[in-house]
Amino acid sequence: MAYQETTTTGYGTRLKNSLGGIGTGFLLFLAGTALLWWNEGRAVKTDKMLNEAEGVTVEMEDVSKIDPEFEGKLIHATAFANTKDSLSDPLFNIGATAIGIQRQVEYYQWVEHASSQSKDKFGGKQETVTTYTYSREWTNKPQRSETFHDPAYQNKNYTLYQAENFDQLAETVMFGAYKLNDYMKNAISNTQPIDLVFDQKQLETWNRDCERIFVRNTGQRAIGDIVSERVKQAVSNATKTTTTTTNDTLKKDSLQKDTVIAPAPNKKDLDYIHVNANVLYFGESPNSPQVGDVRITFTKTMPANVSIIAKVAGETFAQFKAKNGKTFQALSMGSKTAEEMYASGHASNNMWLWILRILGILMICGGLRGIFGILVTVLKVIPFLANIVGWGVSLVCNVIGVAWSLIIIAIAWIFYRPLLGILLLAIAGFLVWVFAFKGKDKLKDLANRNKNTQV
């Protein structure tokens, strides 16, 4: 069942918060403007850098030996990335000959979710109802249930085991006769599971530790004790139903043949530790997780065929630095041509251009709403009037925010690429004209209609 909390904010407090929001709004507006300007410059510089790099890239068809002819040049090559380094997870003593090994830890926990609804009251007060709901989920870190708002869920979380995520890279990864740098090693994504093998004593130690944690946190009996009791009860029942003959003339071997003997129980499996392929599971059942369970997955990055674009620097590779100061190096899985890799670079640049553009516009519009939000708050004593004004303020802020954003983008493009910048300025000017003049004409028409209606 959902848990709710209701809070009331007074009119004076709301005015005070709105005044504080003006400063925050200005900061957000300035940050959004700076982001737009920087982003446009970044995109243009990156585009020019990629074009410059593509123009000087040469093919290195044989990487089996270090060739002084390619020293300092930007090359494209395809080869098998390999290593002889043995890596090891120091906590679990799991190892592999690989480019990298990874440990990912997940916890099954109660997670708190909050949603709020606010309602304005006459007199300027605001009533906010916050609803808290709870669900059991796999998370990347333990959740602090002692801070949960619903007392029924407080202190419900615990963990049977705790560990940090872990990553390790091979020191030497060969690309023919050359060594890949750390950026390239990290870019290799040929991930495979590590088959787990643990010492039986270690498993039993973990199992005992988990048993103690389980009993301490749940107040329940240990699973092993419950199972042992059930086995003893089964043996007792089998003994009671054993039928023996009382005929003194029967031979001893005949008596043994006819007597039903209760079977000895099999060796008990570990109750809280389960190993399946590359997953180490702390909990009663991996198929039915309970709060407190922990799941640790081990993977390795194996040698693979890769394609690279980078500057040759002795026996390894370095970033290419363009005339405008932007740097570049790339690694793609499999056999990729230089054209394909540069096309991917341009696509990534355009994707980030639009992501940051949208973010900057939202920051500017949000900043303007924060600056002018005080106008709406002042009218909150009459909620329906404040709602009408709030709608209008939001509309004006969004229109001005989009127009301002287009102007900033246009000026940036004029600085970097004049033709497109002039076009964007024209669009921004058209939006301002429509809002300033056409909107004014519509307001006059509405006013005239109201006069005619009253007459």
Per-residue pLDDT of the chain (455 residues; tens, 9 = 90+): 688 888 887 877 777 888 888 889 999 999 999 999 999 999 999 999 999 999 999 999 999 999 999 999 999 999 999 999 999 999 999 999 999 999 999 999 999 999 998 887 877 788 889 999 999 999 999 999 999 999 999 999 999 999 999 999 999 999 999 999 999 999 999 999 999 999 999 999 999 999 999 999 988 766 655 544 544 554 455 455 444 444 444 344 443 444 333 343 333 468 999 999 999 999 999 999 999 999 999 999 999 999 999 999 999 999 999 999 999 999 999 999 999 999 999 999 999 999 999 999 999 999 998 888 877 777 777 777 777 877 888 888 888 999 899 888 888 877 777 766 677 667 766 766 666 665 555 545 545 554 454 44
- Which one, of 94, 289, 42, lies nearest residue 202 by Cα? 94
pLDDT in the model for residue 330: 97
Closest by CA position to 170, among listed 229, 96, 109, 226? 96
pLDDT at 10: 83
**pLDDT score for 430:** 72
User: Which residues are within 8 A (CB) of 89 and not within 5 positions of it... i.e. 6 or more apart?
Assistant: 95, 101, 103, 166, 168, 298
> For residue 263, how many C-alpha atoms fall within 13 Å in the half-sphere facing its CB?
3
Nearest to 273 by CA among 206, 359, 174, 182: 206
Assign 411 to helix, strand or coil.
Answer: helix
3-state secondary structure of 386: helix
Alpha-carbon torsion, ordered 334, 338, 339, 344, to 10 deg: 60
d(CA 344, CA 337): 11
| 132: β partners | 3, 114
Q: Where are the beta strands (DSSP E) in 213-315?
A: 273-276, 279-282, 294-301, 304-313
CB 74 within 8 A of CB 57: yes
160: phi > 0 → left, psi -120 to 50 → alpha, else beta; which?
Answer: alpha
- Give the largest CA-CA distance in the chain: 127
**Torsion over CA of 179, 182, 183 and 186, rounded to 10 degrees?**
110
Selection from 177, 189, 188 nearest residue 312 by Cα: 177
- Please state, in angstroms and rounded to a whole number, the distance separating the CA atoms of residues 298 and 138: 17
Name, in order, each residue with C-beta under 8 angstroms of 291's C-beta and a sequence gap of 6 or more: 108, 109, 110, 136, 156, 157, 158
Q: How far is it, in rounded angstroms, from Cα 168 to Cα 174? A: 17
